[in-house]
Amino acid sequence: MITPRAMKNENLTLFAPAKINLTLEVFGKRADGYHDLRSLVVPVSLYDVLTLTPLDADIEVSCEVVGLPGENLPMLPAPRDNLAVRAAHLLREVTGCCGGARIHIRKEIPIGGGMGGGSADAAAALTGLNRLWGTGLSIEALMELGARLGSDIPAMVYGKAVCMEGRGEKITPVPTCWTAGTEWWIVVVNPGFNVPTGDIYRRFRSGLTSNEETFINARFALERGDRKLACASLVNSLEAPVYDKYPLLASVAGRLKSAGADGVLLSGSGASVFAVAENHGQALVIEARMKRENGSWLWSRVAQILPDGVMVAHGPLEARV
Ligand code: ATP
């Protein structure tokens, strides 16, 4: 049994970034009921913030929703269903650690928004508690644990740009050449309702996927920092079933294009839609135009694709986690 090494009252704060899928190709349904997929996933500068406080034995969670539309509140999971809590229990189970923790989540990632908010929290909990409890698992082991809880979690534990395949458990790093100041800017908009992922996969009909060349171009664009090529290679197999069921989202995407964005795509299974802008200034202009034309019902944020590093820890543990 591992005894937690953290001292009482030592808190650990982690930034858990959301993700967007620059490509998401869904292939056939597998025997286990899941679909095979391939996706280029990048972290973006929209964060949930987790504060972990060691406790003797209990695992407790509290959530605070910041700046999200009111419709997000009922979507908050019950404490035992919270992916961060499930991650904590799983980590204890596999390591035999007897530690406890209070997990406070300051949520800024839209819930059910296709931006992997719950997965980000689980990834941050796994990574942070592994430090806090001194359980010493490798990043690969944490990714494997993450895969047991959700498809997006291994990619989010890894943290940088990746290609995700299989159910999401096969992760290949994608090198990027961003340096500070050259990262791409995006505008994310969310209508305030959530899109149930399972229902969209059920509505998905194969045959609507992209071709190989588009994927190769998108990966090349990421590696070279070629924003124009990336915009021309954005693809999401789930756009058709989502836009079919929620025409409002198709119209939001159309309005982002009219506002001047070079590339617009549904993130994951929605309901968030993002636009890739030429630079920070253009992102602000696009966001302002969306606000002007659509009023306050449309939640939006300007964010950056993050070049590196997912989680920053403050407090007694200062290194990047
Ligand atoms: P997915 O595509 O995996 O369903 P998403 O990115 O669209 O995810 P999330 O914000 O991760 O959306 O929420 C999806 C579901 O996960 C919601 O039903 C929510 O209640 C549940 N959930 C569990 N834990 C969390 C968490 N910590 N934060 C947000 N949602 C969570």
pLDDT tens-place string over residues 278-290: 999 999 999 999 9
Q: What is the mean pLDDT of residues 4-15?
A: 69
pLDDT of residue 311: 54
Structural domains of the chain sorted by starting position, each given as residue range(s) with its CATH number in brackets: 12-173 (3.30.230.10), 185-304 (3.30.70.890)
Average pLDDT, integer, range 59-68: 92
Burial of 157 (0-12, 13-18, 19+ CB in 10 A): buried
Residue 44 Cα to ligand 1 middle (Å): 17
Assign residue 295 a region: left if phi > 0, alpha if psi is -120 to 50, beta otherwise? left
Is a pLDDT exceeding 50 seen at residue 273? yes
Which H/E stretch holds residue 230? helix 227-232
The string over 211-224, giving b where at least 16 C-beta atoms fall within 10 Å of a residue's C-beta and e elsewhere, is eeebbebbbebbee
Phi, psi torsion values for 42, nearest 5 degrees: -130, 145
Contacts of 106 (CB under 8 A, 6+ apart): 48, 49, 50, 51, 63, 64, 66
In the block, tokens 């961060």 appear at 84
Contact 133, 6 (CB under 8 A): yes
Res. 198 pLDDT band, cuts 50 70 90: confident
Among candidate residues 17, 63, 67, the one with its CA nearest the CA of residue 42? 17
- Does residue 119's CB lie within 6 angstroms of at least one atom of ligand 1? yes
Any atom of ligand 1 within 6 Å of the Cβ of 168: no
Provide the 8-state DSSP code for 314. Answer: E
Question: In one letter, which amino acid is 89?
Answer: H
- Residue to mutate (ligand 1; options 111, 190, 195; most atoms within 8 A of CB): 111
Quick one: which atom of ligand 1 is closest to the CA of 150?
3
318-to-6, 14, 84 alpha-carbon distances in Å: 14, 10, 21
Q: With residue 14 as reference, give the H or E element that holds it.
A: strand 12-29
And the tokens for 33?
A: 């009921």
Q: What is the per-residue pLDDT across 234-271, written as a single tens digit (0 to 9) for each?
A: 999 999 999 999 999 999 999 999 999 999 999 999 89
Tens of pLDDT along 181-192?
A: 778 999 999 998
Per-residue tokens: 271: 């309901």
CB 249 within 8 A of CB 265: no
> pLDDT at residue 69 above 80?
no
| pLDDT on residue 209 | 53
